[in-house]
Chain A
């Protein structure tokens, strides 16, 4: 379905200074991962029987997959609401989603105490349909595969352009895959709808451990809407950052379009959130000023301020402000998920949790690995928009800014 010249491969050297930095962080992370496998989870983490889940689940899985929902959010926008003008952004969104989900999967295998028993998930007689975890596990695995298939055209385009045996095969598969791709695209919308809402349902079972500000029957719906606006914010974040880093033209027109959608979603989300708090008579808790209330207010204000800012057209047209507001939404929406998974979680009786240095390093290593793979892939495969099919309006302001930024980023070229 894609126009072949819609996307370009970034023609740059792969080994750059940021590359080496990310590689170092990745290697450090993987050293700690190795220690975890030799000495056990207790040796590297501050996890306990009171807090069996820490940042590996709360950040890497529950929050990371939401930030990786760019592919999902863009697919809804492009294929369901038929906004084809955003199609040029789909591949980079899919790529970040693919790595986001793939590495969330990696985090899970690090976190799983008895990973060698994982095969039981594939034995139908062992399936436990009451378990939200089961639903999430199956859906996330399936979706990661779907993401790979959705991204496959980019890889095939690259291979078939070359002259070897593999390229013939690629040329043969490519049009066929394009014909059936729609089945996977729709699957790629259905699966996240299922597991992102289930990620919310997951914590409903902690009825009295999760603080009432967050524990509600609406968790699945809140998580679903949350991941869509986080997805859009992540696309804005990623696009601006890579335009900045690669010294390319900002996709201001498309991005401001996306930014325009976010407030609509957050308005619905905030209404459900507040309405539910009032309905359950927990609204006074939320504003009581204690630790939980402060966490709620931070989360709430970040989303609220970010959304209000995005209502302003000037902000939506400025890459810098777009970037700042996208960050506000990402932090606020991400904090919501962290609140649900650890910060608002209290098992009672003196249990405490704060992630250990090794836990942080493992999470950082995984994030660095994700960015590293992104940098390699955009330089190997046609991922970023070429700008040929788009109607980008480059304003004076944008040009001036991008030149300034390019100046600051000269080292990236070398």
Chain B
């Protein structure tokens, strides 16, 4: 009797768990959905045009009310000298220098993924993507779990570690400031070299492709963000390899897709958990009956 119930359990439960897992792993490999939208708000940064003036950095800070970051060298606090993106810096210009002849500026900010991992990770919808493909943050609901930081392949969301009541800080294409009042983000508006421009994803992608075609010697033949992480709305042109400019080498699938496929397969319609509960309940009750019978027999 005991053996039978155990076998039952093994068959049903193990089958259920193994089935859903295998299904989810297979599913992960099978599906590759395209989330990019042609009319999404986009930015194109061309590293070969950038003069490194950092007008974008200061315009971003001014527009979005971000304080300066004091450098280690700067005792008097005369400089805004962030080393990297941080909770006071939503965009930054960095310099990559291989040697005196080979160097390149590079701008960093949120990539505004077509399928953002931070949005997929957030348990309370504090990270959201709007209809224009802009990923933005709502501190009023954020619980501060920082799963968005873990999930982001570009390490973009930053946290105010030094504050008692901190929040997450990241680029939202000036959704509530410049984009709203002037129709484009502060950084693209002020760029004197037109190294970073604003537009619809399809148009900017066409411009990028044309630039490579017209001047193939100026660029490496790769538009970063066209396919990376399932496609991003901020795309890049450069003369140097993107890994050297600090960009991660990514698959063409969003990390969010990988995880969501697993979760959606396991929890589809909440069937598997309910089935698991029902099966376990059935087995447990049967076991109890058996035990009670055995006990009665023992008493007699």
Contacts and interface: CB of A to CB of B under 8 A. Distances in A.
A40 B121 contact: no
A114 B25 contact: no
Interface stretch (B96-104, B185-193, B232-240, B246-254): B246-254
Contact of A82 (B117, B161, B255, B291): B291
Contacts of B17: 193, 221, 224
Given A39-B164, A201-B262, A79 B146 contact: no
A312 interface: no
B78 interface: no
Contacts of B163: 40, 42
B140 A117 contact: yes
Contacts of B263: 130, 132, 135, 198, 201
B71 interface: no
A395 interface: no
A70 to B, nearest CB: 18
A207 B121 CA distance: 13
A53 B123 contact: no
B280 A207 contact: no
Interface stretch (A43-51, A362-370, A396-404): A43-51
Given A53-B146, A217-B25, A131 B122 contact: yes
A409 B122 CA distance: 50
Interface residues of A, number: 67
Interface stretch (A120-128, A161-169, A251-259): A120-128
Contacts of A2: none
Interface in B92-148: 117, 119-125, 139-147
B166 A41 contact: yes
Contacts of A37: 164
B144 A134 contact: no
A40 B162 contact: yes
Contact of B153 (A82, A131, A208): A208
Interface string B41-77: 0000000000000000000000000000000000000
Interface stretch (A148-156, A181-189, A315-323): A181-189
A206 B154 CA distance: 11
B24 A121 contact: no
B273 interface: yes
A69 to B, nearest CB: 15
Contact of B288 (A117, A120, A182): A182
B297 interface: no
A194 B262 contact: no
Interface string A104-144: 00000001111101101100001111111111010000000
A117 B256 contact: no
B162 A43 contact: yes
A280 B263 CA distance: 21
Nearest to B6: A81
B66 to A, nearest CB: 15
A411 interface: no
Contacts of B151: 205-206
9 contacts: A53-B150, A112-B145, A128-B122, A131-B121, A186-B280, A203-B150, A204-B255, A207-B153, A349-B155
Given A52-B159, A113-B160, 8 more contacts: A80-B283, A120-B124, A127-B125, A131-B121, A182-B281, A182-B284, A217-B24, A220-B24
The 8 closest A-B pairs by CB, nearest first: A113-B144, A42-B161, A114-B144, A134-B123, A52-B146, A52-B149, A207-B255, A82-B287
